[in-house]
Amino acid sequence: MGAFKVDILNIILAIIVSLLGLPVGFLLAKIAKEELEYGKIYFQWMRRIILIAAILFVFYSFNLKIGTFILIAIMITGLIIRFDPNAIISYFIFSILLFRVLENINLLVLTFSLVFLYGLPTGALMILRGFVNYMREEIENPINIGFGRKLMQKIKYVLWVTMLEILTFPSLFMEKKKGALYHLKFVCPICPSSRKKHRDVHGKSTCWWEYNWLKGKYNVPKHFGMINWIKQYIGYGTNLKKFRNFK
């Protein structure tokens, strides 16, 4: 029983030490605020990289097949970079990771070390952005705008586009003019501006296909390519340069 208590005390001490990264980050920002002012973007990237490393070290301990590990690594890296979890979410993730590696002393020490390192840029950002403003953002957005709201917007966008694609399906079997008129009547009126911008060729803030159909130009290509379709489906930029000189 005594040994167990010692282990618990050691873990508590390690948690306290690892969290000292925050005040050390405060101190660094206070001492060299002007020099660090231009490093905000680098601090943000440091936090992402440290969080990614911590998660991947834990997954590596599962002895996964190399192909599976690489796939998971790509997915996790993409998610962290894309949604950029804030400090509250990140420390919550660290707590889960620490619980998972309690029985592996090497991974435990490594994870505690990464928690300490994560605190350095986080503490510096708190000072550089203004402590009160930073904490207000953290409290008001416990799942960071970048992590929560953007994710929900992305989910809504994909669901909405899926519904539009289903609605569009009958036009695939129509000739160009009938298909265009079908789009103008049933699809274009409810197509969100966020989707139309992915179909904007000339920077007119509108769908190039809708723009031409409204002018009676029904001979435009029906499709803009599979790659562009996938990109606009998930909300990423499309490449429509080839349509700019279409007559």
Task: Give dist(CA 123, CA 23) in Å, integer.
Answer: 6
pLDDT above 90 (res 246): no
Spell out a b/e string for 26-51, using b for 16 or more CB atoms within 10 Å of the CB, else e: bebbeeeeeebeebeeebeebbbbbb
Q: Taking the domains of the chain in order of start, what are their residue ranges?
A: 2-145, 151-243
More confident residue, 35 or 74: 74
Mean pLDDT along residues 64-82: 88
pLDDT at 151: 59
Contact 102, 108 (CB under 8 A): yes
Of the pLDDT bands very low, low, confident and very high (cuts 50, 70, 90), residue 112 is very high
Structure confidence by residue, pLDDT tens digits, 14-28: 888 899 999 998 898
Task: Give dist(CA 152, CA 204) in Å, integer.
Answer: 27
Structure confidence by residue, pLDDT tens digits, 124-176: 888 887 776 776 666 555 444 444 555 566 666 777 777 777 888 888 888 88
Which of the residue ranges 2-6, 58-62, 135-139, 144-148 has the most confident prediction, judged by mean pLDDT? 58-62
- H or E stretch at 129: helix 105-129
pLDDT above 90 (res 70): yes
% pLDDT > 90, the chain: 15
